Structure 1
Amino acid sequence: MFKKKNDLYLSDKQPLTVTGKIGIGLSYLALLLWAVAILWPLFQMVVSAFNGFQVQYLILNRDFEFSLKHFKYLFEETLYLKWVSNTIFIAISTAVLSLAMVSFTGFAYSRYRFKGRKASLMAIMLIQTIPTFAGITAYFTMHSIISSVIPAFSRQMMLILIYSAGGIAGNTFILKGYLDSISTELDDAAKIDGCSSMKVYRLIIMPVARPMLAIIALWSFIGPFMDYLLPRVLLTKPESYTLAAGLFTLINDFRTLNQPAFAAGGLLTAIPIVLMFILLQKQLVSGLSKGSVKG
């Protein structure tokens, strides 16, 4: 309760009007409905994955019997473990390759002035507007050319290159903006102490940019788990599928149709992503302060 003096509230905030209260109520109602729209399907997925009464199709009923038969089917009757290993290999390779390229390109665009810099930055922005699936024909051609020179070059490696190259453009622009906010006085102080440009990059810039690098690594890692179209088009053998392409066979192929097993697989798919987030969470919080101290 605010004390009144001459009918004036002793507060920086004015009391809400009736219109303001209605607006806040509608905002909370919209947020509540949005949360229900997101959480309800997730809840049904979790329940269906452990419900022994579910057979071949997902049925929203009140009967529930705890069972692991859908997980058992997933591991024994499908290539789920192979799909997991394929996806993790592609995801880790994509994250490492993207970080290696983006860290250099972001640093170069942020700290150096060279001919064609503005034009190439504009090209990077335009590249992001082109959808990935638009280049499927070109991907097949590129794979044919590379595999004719390097016979060991597989379609999974082609997928890694596509994910990495596709992420370099946007991530470079994001990292450049982040590095632009870091004072160049750190660079100047390091150069006065005798550090070369590579040492400035390794000892000053990268530790300070660790939070953004962690985010880029997380995005790059998540991408192969979420994408269905490219793996389904480029990967022709079931044993080479990623999780998205492999699990989709459980709902679009009548020979292997098992929607509850698909729900179980979707639930397990979240585990590597959550573990990756937990692994990088410390970097998100402590990277900036540690880098500043080293500088």
Structure 2
Amino acid sequence: MRRCGIEWSAIAAEQLPVPVERKGEAIVKMDKVLLSYRTIHKTVHPVLKGINLELRSGESVALIGNNGAGKSSLMKLIAGITTPTGGTVYVKGMKVNGLPPERLSGIASYVFQNPEDMFIDDSVRGEIAYYLKARRLADMDETVEAMMEAFRLHELAERDARLLSGGQQRRVSLAIGAAVRPAVMLLDEPTANLDISTKQEMVEVLETLRSHVETVVIATHDMALVAEWASRVIVMNDGMIIADGSKDEIFSDGALLRRAGLADTQLMELSRMLGLPRICCSFEEFTRTVEWRKEAVTHGGNSQTGT
């Protein structure tokens, strides 16, 4: 694409990140996985339709799609909360079909959309300790302290987690999940019902998880979170995976996002309106791209006029 004598494809290529090869260890493998349930009218309703998927160590994976696409169901299969009606799910080489969730707690940790569903003790410190005691893990006291430090919970240590703010409850639920050092952490709508400032804090909290968990998977409608955090984006629709790639690949396809019932962020929409060489995912990226374009157009105009 050439504008004002400028080769925009060259500028786009300069900005685009080199595709990351998936070389990490396979943490999750799903082979032709099916999930269905019977309705009150005794008819079979398919939820997942032959899912083939591999998630690797080091990935930050976002599952996106409209309501009913199958995102939460897929994560619950990985955590052993739900049993597939067909196919096989493996986590760290272990076949999880039908295994009780407690058998998988040290391998796959699922954090529900409502954090308070995980709380049973009367203090934040007690919440973390309870889950470690239940699994008879060694070095419990040291682990509790490490989680309190990592997720900035020391000031809330003796508070009842059920009485905390939404953002604070999220931090507690993630500390509980990370304390058992699972291979994969599965989060359902981690920014649901949070205000803008708390949503931004969640990005930092999710970054904290990287040092405690091999692979993090979130199911979300929050495209701003996906744009800022995810290294891999999987698009689901009607119980199937319809796209799987980097956020640049996924966000550049407006038709794909519309098919999945997803809306552009304001930055993504503005990138399309301005005809930028790539869809920008962050404010810093947007301003840098606009500056590059202004500079390129200026230099191109000068070269054409001979100045």
Question: Normalization by structure 2: what TM-score?
Answer: 0.26
Higher relative contact order (CA 8 A, sep 6+): 1
Higher helix share: 1
**TM-score normalised by the chain length of structure 1:** 0.27
**When you count strand as a share of all residues, which structure comes out higher?**
2
Pick the structure with greater CA Rg: 1
